[in-house]
Structure 1
Amino acid sequence: MDLTYMGYEERIITPKKPVQIAGYDARIDNCSRGTMKDLKAQILVGKRNEDRFCLVTIDSLGFTVGLTNVLRERTAEILPAKMEQVMVCFSHTHAAPNAAVEKDYYESVCQSILSGVKKAEESMEPVYAGWGSGENTVGINRRGSGQPIDPRIGILKICGERQEKTKVLIVRITAHCNVLMPDNYLISPDYFGEAREVLEHRYGCKVMMVQGASGDVRPRYRQENADFLEIHPAEVHFMDISDQMKVRYTAQSQKALKNMADDICKSLEPVIDKINPKPINRISMFSVKSTFYADVPELNRARQIASEAWEQGKIDGTGWLLEVERLLNNHETRQSAEIELQFFTVNDGCLCGVPSEVMSDIAVEIWKKTSNPMVFFNGYTNGCTSYLPTAAEYDRGGYEVLWSNLLYYQYHGRVMPLNRDTADRLADEAVKAWKEY
């Protein structure tokens, strides 16, 4: 049997000066004011025969697809490989730099990762791998009580050929990386950073965290005023709270980060040692692409959406309305997007994903249609674009479906979410690609 080789490297990517933070764009001031914990980029490079591949995880809300693809192309040149054999997964922390604005920071991250790829290649050795699944206890659907979440924590255990020591754990968890709310201005990987440290100490190996389909899933633990801040981030600038309350909220956030990490560790504890890594007989990284569409709303409907967003979330839709009007004046009633669905398959399981903020029920649907609980569908893969709701959630509207576009249309190039049938079509595409490849 042909052997599979892998090597690991990581880089600290914390900005060295104040930067614009991404994640709460309705906030009046987005400038960072120090660092809570360092951000990381982690690199796993592999080869099998002549094929090369690379998995990169980055503590970031998510670069635009365009910026991410530039990084993937540059990484592919080094390996060498095709761009489709480089997968970049973002944690979606809301306390990291806005790479689309901070150009120097983006370039420094790219350079760090590219040097890390070269170093990871030098450390490659034969590996075995095995999958496991733990219980996701740290995610809650923020669209209402009783709404679904993906109940699985995915685990890919990679060890040396003799299986004596675990080299890397890849942990896929589904919960928004925003324990830290808009009143936080410190750079942080959020609970991903806490969880990595706890798990690395517990298992004596490197841990890479991958964000799941968490577009509608918030973290279980947060500070007591989190619900208000999530809906009204613009109010942070005007909040009149005492120093005593600030200290109280900070302590609550720190405890919440620790609780998230501890619960993740508890969920993995009964699973990790039972995973039996085996020789790798199937490994590949590939992509399929499909075109999806978003209808531009009529002007009266757009005004209604903007009015709702302001009344319920204090989100200013002035620029968004002008863009809708411009499109309609140019007789552009539909916008399109080519969506890349990428897979990283190892033996009988895989990580797969798209750049969108995917709602959790889509991942569950793909799992059920493949009849394989080790198929983990994720968002924030190779970039971060708009929310991708299920048909049922599309009909409900709200922030994830409608109002967020008033803030982020300028980054993902559409004024509305992809149409109602997109989630079902995407799930079918994912199942088909998994079975064919």
Structure 2
Amino acid sequence: MEPTYMGYEERIITPEKPVQMAGYDARIDNCSRGVMKDLKAQILVIKKNEERFCLITIDSLGFTVELTSFLRRKAAEILSAKMEQVMICFSHTHAAPNAAVEKEYYDFVCQSILSGVKNADESMVPVYAGWGIAENTVGMNRRESNQPIDPRMGILKICGEDQEKIKVLVVRVTAHCNVLMPDNYLISPDYFGEAREALERRYGCNVMMVQGASGDVRPRYRQENADYLEIHPAEEHLMDNSVQMKERSDAQSQKALKDMAEAICESLYPVVNQIKTEPVSRVSMFSVKSSFYADVPALNRAGEIAAEAWEMGRIDGKGWLREVERLLNKGEKKQGAEIEIQFFAVNDGCLCGVPNEVMSDIAVNIWKKSNNPMLFFNGYTNGCSSYLPTAAEYDKGGFEVLWSNLLYYQYHGRVMPLNRDTAKRLEDEVVKAWKEF
């Protein structure tokens, strides 16, 4: 069997000056005020039979699909590969720069990553690989806390030919990367940073983390006023901001970050050393695309949504209402979206993702419909677009389904979530493509 080779690089992508942050756009002020921990971009290049595949993880809420596609194309050019052979996964930290408005920062990140791709491609070594599943103990359903979530924490273990030393662990975890709440203005990878460092100390290898289907999954550990701030991000300035209270919140957040990292370490501990690595007999990265639609609401319904968003979350929907009216005046009653579904398969396991904030049940349904627990469906892949709810959650409305659009329509180009049947159609498309592969 022809050996499989791997190259790895990483880059620090922390901004050098204050920047506009992404993730809490309802805040009055979104400018960063320092750095808590450095942000990273990590690059994994795999070569099999002269064909190259590239996985890039970035500490960011997520670039737009357009910005991400540009970076993928440039990386593919370096590797003499297709764009579909480059997968970019975003951590979805809410404490990173908004690349859509910070062009200088976006250009810096692209340059850093592209130099890393070139170096990774020039530092190949033969590798073996294997998959494992640990228990996801760090996520909770944030829409209904008693509801189940995806219980799997996926692990791709990559070793050298001797199979003794781990070279890279790719860990797929499902929990929103927002331990740090709207009262934080420091740049940070959130709990991904703490978890990476803890795992790297334990296993003596590089660790890449991939975000799962976390649209409705919050981190288990947070500061005590997090529930309020999550619903009312625009009102963080109204909280008790005394020095004593701020110090208390900061201490609670720091403890929560470490608690998340410790819980991830404990989940992986009984699994990692039991994963058997084997020669890589199959490796592939490919995409399929499907078209979906979102209905533009009637103006009276749009007014109801905007009023509810203001009452419940102090989210200003004036700009969104103007956009709805503009669309209706043009006779546009629905908006389309072509979604790329990308697969990165290694032996019998696979990371699969779309550029949406998908809800956890979608990943579980795909696993069960495919009858393959090693098929890990993720969001935040190749960009970050609107929330994609299940039909049941679509009917309930709320922030993820409706109110978030008042903030982010300008980035994902739609004023409403994709229609109620989208989740089921997406599940079926993923399973069909996987079975045909």
Q: TM-score range by the shorter chain?
A: over 0.9
Shift of 1:51: 1.1
Question: Could you tell me which residue of structure 2 aligns to residue 15 of structure 1?
Answer: 15
Name the residue aligned to 2:274: 274
Deviation at 1:119, TM superposition (A): 0.8
Aligned residue in 1 for 2:105: 105
| In the alignment, structure 1 residue 346 sits paired with structure 2 residue 346 | yes
Return the offset for 1:204: 0.3
Distance, in Å, in 2 between the alignment partners of 1:281 and 1:261 is 33
Question: Distance between the aligned counterparts of 2:4 and 2:265, measured in 1?
Answer: 28
Residue 240 (structure 1) shift:
3.7
**What corresponds to 2:182 in structure 1?**
182
Code of the residue aligned with 2:127 in structure 1: it is: V
Quick one: percent identity of the two aligned structures? 80
Q: Report what 1:192 is aligned to.
A: 192
TM-score normalised by length of structure 1 = 0.99
2:345 partner letter: T
The whole-number CA distance in structure 2 between the counterparts of 1:434 and 1:257 is: 35
| 1:27-46 paired onto structure 2 within 5 Å | 27-46=27-46
Per the alignment, residue 410 of structure 1 pairs with 410
CA deviations over 1:137-182 (Å, ceiling 9, x no partner): 0000001132221000000000011212110000000000000000
2:301 counterpart residue number: 301
In structure 1, what residue type is equivalent to 2:324?
Answer: V
Q: Does 1:247 align with 2:247?
A: yes
Measure how far apart 1:416 and its partner are.
Answer: 0.3
SS at match of 1:404: helix
| Structure 2 counterpart SS, 1:169 | strand
In structure 1, the residue matched to 2:161 is: 161
Q: Given residue 356 of structure 1, which amino acid in structure 2 is its aligned partner?
A: N
- After TM superposition, the structure 1 stretch with the greater mean CA deviation from structure 2, 156-165 or 398-407, is 156-165
How far did 1:94 drift?
0.1
CA–CA separation in structure 2 for the residues paired with 1:174 and 1:222: 15
What is the SS of the residue equivalent to 2:29?
A: coil
Q: SS where residue 285 of structure 1 aligns?
A: strand
C-alpha separation in 2, matches of 1:423 and 1:4: 35
- Paired position in structure 1 for 2:95: 95
SS of 1:355's partner is coil
CA deviation after TM superposition for structure 1 residue 232, in Å: 0.7
In the alignment, which residue of structure 2 is the partner of 1:286? 286
Which segments of 5 or more consecutive residues in structure 1 lack a partner in the other structure?
none
Q: 5 Å matches for 1:326-337?
A: 326-337=326-337
Tell me what 1:53 maps to.
Answer: 53
Name which of structure 1's ranges 107-116 and 158-167 shifts more when overlaid on structure 2. 158-167
Letter in 2 for 1:133: I
SS at match of 1:194: helix
Secondary structure at the aligned position of 2:246 is classed as: helix
Q: Which residue of 2 is the match for residue 207 of structure 1? A: 207
- Distance (whole Å) between structure 1 residues aligned to residue 318 and residue 88 of structure 2: 33
Whichever residue aligns with residue 153 of structure 2, its letter is: I
Q: 1: CA distance between counterparts of 2:240 and 2:344? A: 48
How far apart in 1 are the matches of 2:163 and 2:151? 29
Measure how far apart 1:196 and its partner are. Answer: 0.1
Q: Deviations over 1:98-141 (max 9, x none)?
A: 00000000000000000001111121111100000000000000
> 20-29 or 145-154, which moves further after superposition?
145-154
Cα distance in structure 2, aligned partners of 1:170 and 1:278: 16
Separation in 2 of the partners of 1:236 and 1:389? 27
Task: Measure, in 2, the Cα distance between the counterparts of 1:344 and 1:176.
Answer: 22
* Distance in 2 between residues matched to 1:152 and 1:236, nearest whole Å: 34
Q: Distance in 1 between matches of 2:122 and 2:287?
A: 26
Mapping of residues 65-104 of structure 1, within 5 Å: 65-104=65-104
Q: Does 1:143 align with 2:143?
A: yes
* TM-score scaled by length of structure 2: 0.99
- The answer on whether the counterparts of 1:29 and 1:237 sit within 8 Å (CA) in structure 2 is no
Residue 256 of structure 1: aligned partner: 256
Which digits, 9 at most, give the CA deviation of each residue in 1:15-72, with x for residues without a partner?
0000000000000000000000000000001111131110000000000000000000
- The CA deviation at 1:237 is 2.5
CA distance in 2, matches of 1:362, 1:28: 34
- Deviation of 1:359 after TM superposition, in Å, equals 0.1
Q: CA RMSD in A?
A: 0.6
Q: Distance in 1 between matches of 2:123 and 2:203?
A: 20
Q: How many angstroms does 1:247 deviate by?
A: 0.3
| Residues matched between the structures, number | 437
Distance in 2, matches of 1:363 and 1:67, equals 26
The one-letter amino acid of 1:138's match is V
Q: Is the 8 A contact 1:352 1:378 kept in 2?
A: yes
Corresponding residue SS for 1:200: helix
Q: Partners in 1 of 2:239 and 2:345 — Cα distance? A: 48
Deviations 1:329-352 (A, max 9, x none): 000000000000000000001000
Write out the 4+ residue segments of structure 1 that deviate beyond 4 Å after TM superposition: none
> Helix, strand or coil for the counterpart of 1:427?
helix
Residues 304-383 of structure 1: pairs in structure 2 closer than 5 A: 304-383=304-383
